[in-house]
Amino acid sequence: MTVKLSKTLRSLMYGGRVVYKLDNVMVSDTKRAWVGNQFIKIDSKYRESKKERDAFYIGTAFGLDRVKYHVDKCIYHGKIHNCCVCTNFLDKDEELITLSDMLNRCNVIIPMNRTSEEYFNLVCKCVYSYTGLDAREWLMNLLVFDFLIANSDRTMSDIGFIRGNNGGFRFAPIYDNGMAFFGTDSEMSLKQLKERSLSFKSKPFSKNPRLNLINIDIARKIAYRYKHSFYGKLDGSYDILDSRKLLLQFRFNLLG
């Protein structure tokens, strides 16, 4: 199926809401648009579409709540582009509030000399005061997921909470994994995986991937659960690249 982006439907999405309607959209080198209830992201030079799809497959096997992406084609300025497509996960009158927005609304100031654990605890305290949700376990699950899929771009804007029409909050499904798998679709040898891991920088609590996991013992338990769930559920119905499976096995072994 090819989705044609009508000029009247081209728009910019931030925080789950359409905030601008533009003829030509450019956000961090990624063109994005709503077409009805479908959100379209055109591939940049990083070719995000397959990464989003495979991250969805892996998250599904791990048992995580995640946005379902599929790879498609679209026409933009008369040219065919690869893109990924997902359905709006917000119901009527619901609002997505990113963690970045929430920290700003709580006037949270992050000390320069803080540890990753202190940063994590400060964020969890803010989330609880704003939403009433204990985010510790949920965030730990997300951090381990990002470690395993080698996602280098989990900013605070890529972590969300949904405010319902009754004012209550719930965790948003995991979205925006376009820089996962070391940002490449290429096959990598074991040597290349080791080299990429040495230079890999994580987000959001620390650039150091192990420190970003906050508590390595808890992270290992989560990874153990993911590993057994993954190999128990991943079957031929998932068209995941073999290179992703090799990367996952390598990342699982890194945690021990």
CA separation (Å) from 214 to 116, 217, 219?
Answer: 6, 9, 8
Tell me which amino acid residue 163 is.
R
pLDDT along the chain (256 residues), means of 10: 44 34 46 82 90 94 94 76 90 95 90 93 96 98 98 96 94 96 91 94 97 98 91 62 88 91
pTM of the model: 0.87
Q: Token digits for 60?
A: 């599904």
Q: Looking at this protein, which amino acid is placed at residue 29?
A: D
Backbone phi and psi for residue 49, each to the nearest 5 degrees, phi listed first: -60, -50
**Per-residue confidence (pLDDT) for residue 203, from 0 to 100:** 96
Give CA–CA dist 113/18, Å, rounded. 37
Burial call 123-142: b when 16+ CB within 10 Å, e when fewer: bbebbeebbeeebbebbbbb
Distances 191 to 147, 164, 196, 243 between C-alpha atoms, Å: 18, 47, 9, 13
* Amino acid, res. 131: T
Question: Domains in the chain, start-ordered, CATH in brackets?
Answer: 2-87 (3.30.200), 95-255 (1.10.1070.20)
Q: How far apart are CA 70 and CA 67, in angstroms?
A: 10
- CA distance linking residue 43 with residue 178, whole number of Å: 9
